């Protein structure tokens, strides 16, 4: 039996009910689930739904768990997909066509359960843009272009895409070094996108692929939680690596010039932007 062209990787942690809601139906792809020592029946549910499950003895975080699966991926293409994402297999063909023509990383346009687009594509992650994204005025106006939404027929370059859905050629993602394990949770997707651009691998959101994302971000609550602590810790790590995004509203630093020339613009149809 020929190997499937796609490997889909899902990291679970107390995700049993979410898996039951979002992952029913046929899976014409290799599905690898890495379970971060859940105490519910996430691993068993994933197996019932058709996954090959890798059970970890402890919670190693999102980035490291993704890398565990990346080393096992047999597909030509790899998609990192959260447990709360509804993957529609027909969209994988369009993502593969984009990767064949442009390389780099690509994401579908995510939709909320209400059918409205989620801004899973983002511009440069200035600290002020992060505050603007939380509706802090006037930063919300100054960084109006930070949130990128694509319409059907539209594909746009972005600085980074949310880790809920990120796809690439398996060989390219492996050559990038996979996910940065300095991050336990949060900001690893920011760093992955910027690192891809610096390796001449463009990052884009494909508007013709539109998948539902049952997003319930833990840090949206005003009540302080462990999620807030993890996000703050990751923010310190990220801005320590990229101090040019920490203060003010500067133009992108020299090492981001290529991304700056393309982020927010439409991806030309059929063009090869990989630099290969």
What does the pLDDT average to over 187-209?
97
The average confidence (pLDDT) of the chain is 89
Q: How confident is the model at residue 228 (pLDDT cuts 50, 70, 90)?
A: confident
Q: Kindly report the pTM of this predicted structure.
A: 0.91
pLDDT at 24 over 90: yes
User: How high is the pLDDT of residue 225?
Assistant: 60
User: How high is the pLDDT of residue 216?
Assistant: 64
What does the pLDDT average to over 38-62?
98
User: How high is the pLDDT of residue 219?
Assistant: 45
What are the residues whose beta carbons fall under 8 Å from the beta carbon of 212, sequence distance 6 or more?
Answer: 85, 86, 110, 111, 112, 113
Q: How confident is the model at residue 275 (pLDDT cuts 50, 70, 90)?
A: very low
What does the pLDDT average to over 194-215?
97
Least confident among 98-102, 131-135, 148-152: 131-135
Q: Report yes or no: 75 and 170 within 8 Å, Cβ to Cβ.
A: yes
Helix, strand, coil in percent for the chain, rounding step 5? 35, 20, 45
| 3-state secondary structure (DSSP) of residue 266 | strand
User: How high is the pLDDT of residue 220?
Assistant: 47
What does the pLDDT average to over 7-16?
98
pLDDT of 141-170, one tens digit each? 555 667 899 999 999 999 999 999 999 999
Least confident among 2-6, 21-25, 94-98, 126-130: 126-130
Q: How confident is the model at residue 227 (pLDDT cuts 50, 70, 90)?
A: confident
User: How high is the pLDDT of residue 128?
Assistant: 79
pLDDT at 137 over 80: no
Tell me the H-state helices in 42-185: 42-48, 62-70, 89-102, 127-133, 139-142, 170-176
What does the pLDDT average to over 75-93?
98
pLDDT at 276 over 60: no
Percent of the chain with pLDDT over 70: 85
Q: How confident is the model at residue 255 (pLDDT cuts 50, 70, 90)?
A: confident
């Amino acid at each position: 039996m020929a190997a499937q062209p796609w490997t889909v990787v899902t990291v679970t942690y107390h995700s049993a009910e979410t898996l039951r809601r979002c992952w029913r139906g046929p899976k014409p792809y290799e599905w690898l689930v890495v379970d971060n020592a859940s105490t519910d029946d996430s691993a068993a549910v994933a197996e019932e739904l058709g996954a090959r499950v890798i059970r970890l003895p402890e919670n190693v975080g999102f980035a490291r768990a993704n890398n565990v699966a990346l080393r096992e991926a047999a597909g030509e293409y790899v998609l990192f997909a959260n447990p709360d994402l509804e993957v529609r297999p027909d969209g994988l063909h369009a993502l593969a066509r984009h990767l064949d023509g442009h390389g780099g990383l690509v994401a579908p346009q995510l939709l909320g359960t209400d059918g409205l687009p989620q801004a899973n594509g983002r511009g440069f992650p200035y600290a002020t843009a992060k505050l603007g994204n939380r509706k802090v005025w006037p930063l919300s106006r100054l960084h109006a272009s930070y949130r990128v939404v694509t319409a059907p027929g539209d594909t746009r370059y972005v600085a980074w895409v949310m880790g809920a859905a990120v796809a690439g050629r398996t060989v390219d993602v492996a050559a990038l070094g996979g996910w940065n394990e300095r991050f336990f949770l949060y900001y690893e997707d920011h760093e992955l996108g910027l690192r891809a651009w610096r390796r001449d691998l463009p990052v884009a959101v494909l508007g013709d692929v539109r998948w539902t994302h049952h997003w319930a971000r833990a840090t949206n609550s005003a009540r302080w939680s462990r999620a807030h602590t993890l996000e703050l810790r990751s923010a310190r790590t990220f801005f320590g690596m990229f101090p040019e995004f920490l203060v003010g509203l500067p133009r992108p630093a020299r090492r981001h010039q290529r991304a700056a020339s393309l982020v927010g613009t439409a991806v030309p149809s059929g063009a090869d932007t990989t630099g290969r």
